[in-house]
Amino acid sequence: MKTHFLSLFMLLLAGTSFGQVTYSADIAEIIYTNCSTCHRDGEIGPMALTNYEEVKSWGAMIEYVTENRLMPPWQPNPDYSSFLGEYYLSNEEIQKISDWVADGMPQGNPADEPSFPDFPSGSVLGEPDLVLEMAEEWMHTGNYEDDYRYFVLPTNLAEDKIIKAVEFRPGNSKIVHHALVFEDLTGDAAENDAATPEYGFDGFGSFSNGGPASILDQKQFPGYVPGQKPIRYPDGVGQTLHAGADIVLQLHYAPWPVDESDKSKINIFFMDEEEEVLERELYSEIMVPVQPFVSQPFVIPANTVKEFHGTYTVPIDVSLVNIAPHMHLLGKHWEIWMEKPGGEVVNLINIPEWDFNWQGSYYFDRYMVAPAGTVIHAVASYDNTSTNPNNPSNPPQFVTWGEGTTDEMFYLPIGFVVYQPGDEDIVFNDPTSVSHKWIRDGSELYPIMPNPVADHSLIGFNLTKGQALNIRIFDTNGKLVRTLRNGEFFNMGEHHVDLSTRQMTPGVYFVQIEGKDLMLTQKFVKQ
């Protein structure tokens, strides 16, 4: 009888252990994939989440911020539209974290834990072609006030270059709230800098003439807001950085209680013109609350909830690439869609709960084709009442346009390229894939689709651990034809890299993915 009861007890115990969520077997992969990118030394996360002890010490907080979808900081509604690099947890992952915390946060068998990703230092995109750093530190005074500062970074370029990506690296993430990156060919910014005794110069709006619409006069490159991750432009797409141009950084230093210094920099990645041909320049249209975009004055009286509806009519056939809605602390909601001339409505982005502290520039997972006459609609709502916990004024105050934290904005950059036939069929990421899930069955390079390739294809692969990769194209003689990625970091899980073959001669080629202890090769045919 004793033996019987003992056997039963062991069976029950075994059943309980089998279903237990542990750090090693279940939680580590979630943390390393979704959290450790920012939560490690040298990055913007306020604490490190790189091992069991660190994660356990913050377990209750992790449960809270994931259950309430505060972290990872992904704002768009995933049921409304799709983007590259979507960064949110599934309901199953959130439940695993909750179960783990409720069960006392057991470590489990350390042998089950995936190895920590091989994160690169100083960049997530690999080795930059040009690094521009502020010449001096700027001291942000701890007076609880906003500080907008312009800094001029000479490029000293002797010839035009094509930009593929811009990665802003805040020197002090505690105070750097956002950065705008401009090209200046006029020398105005340098003159303004020279006219002030201290480094850089103060100002709102444009560095030349000011005002809410003046920023439209300047060519912009990708900037930075908290939560934004740099991304490369699609294959064949870029922005021209002209010879002799200055890069101008507009840095917004948030209100802070004590003096803090900053020395930020930007990493710039150029197109290798021997390997890749610029097929299309990326342009942008910026919707701000001035005519003809928004007909009513941009004012938000105290104790009111107000909505503004902006429109922009596309003058020529274009394909939208990215979108970056921006507002301040009174902001509550964005919904943006387009209506094509035939009446078709296409969703672009919906941010149901705006968070000033986590913003981004969102890149569509495909070209969003907008024929001439398409109307882009943007609705933004604001809550200037005392019931808004983010309202910076108590009691509420009359608010209008401005770049200060206590002012408000309706600011919507939209990136696009001129349409080419076939854009409707180009997808930069497979929408059926699960982009941020770790699969334990080994790294794998998926078959090239389509193959043979006419003008465009996708290179799909799965990684069992995050690591920096080189992705290259070789011909049958072993000659390097294209370098698609050079030391760029990829998380665990599935990824798709677009490949334009318009400039490649017909023949047989090989794609090679190389990482630490990883080599994957796949053959494809260019028609």
CATH code, domain with 361: 2.60.120.230
pLDDT means per 10 residues, the chain with 527 residues, are: 46 51 94 88 84 95 92 90 87 94 95 87 89 96 89 96 95 89 90 91 60 56 82 92 94 92 96 89 90 86 96 96 94 98 97 89 94 97 96 95 87 94 83 38 81 89 88 91 90 87 91 89 92
187 plus 129 within the same structural domain: yes
Cα angle 483, 484, 490 (rounded to 5 degrees) comes to 125
Q: What are the tens digits of pLDDT across the range 69-89?
A: 888 888 999 899 999 888 788
312 plus 408 within the same structural domain: yes
88 plus 46 within the same structural domain: yes
176 plus 70 within the same structural domain: no
Asked which of 96, 112, 128 is the last residue of a domain, the reply is 112
CB 122 within 8 A of CB 43: no
CB 214 within 8 A of CB 290: no
Quote the pLDDT of residue 443.
84
Quote the pLDDT of residue 208.
52
480 plus 508 within the same structural domain: yes
Quote the pLDDT of residue 204.
55
289 plus 207 within the same structural domain: no
Q: Which domain, by its residues, includes 466?
A: 429-526
Quote the pLDDT of residue 5.
47
385 plus 442 within the same structural domain: no
Asked which of 82, 112, 142 is the last residue of a domain, the reply is 112
Quote the pLDDT of residue 18.
52
Q: What are the tens digits of pLDDT across the range 185-196?
A: 988 889 889 998
Q: How many domains does the chain have?
A: 4
Q: What is the torsional sign of CA 108, 109, 110, 112?
A: negative
62 plus 135 within the same structural domain: no
Omega cis (within 30) before 255: no
CATH code, 516? 2.60.40.1930
For 26, 46, 217, 224, the CA distances from 262, given in Å and listed in that order, are 38, 17, 28, 15
486 plus 463 within the same structural domain: yes
364 plus 450 within the same structural domain: no
Quote the pLDDT of residue 130.
97
Spell out the residues 6+ positions from residue 5 whose beta carbon is closer than 8 angstroms to its own: none
226 plus 147 within the same structural domain: yes
Spell out the residues 6+ positions from residue 182 whose beta carbon is closer than 8 angstroms to its own: 189, 207, 218, 219, 220, 221, 247, 248, 249, 250
Asked which of 365, 394, 426 is the last residue of a domain, the reply is 426
449 plus 420 within the same structural domain: no
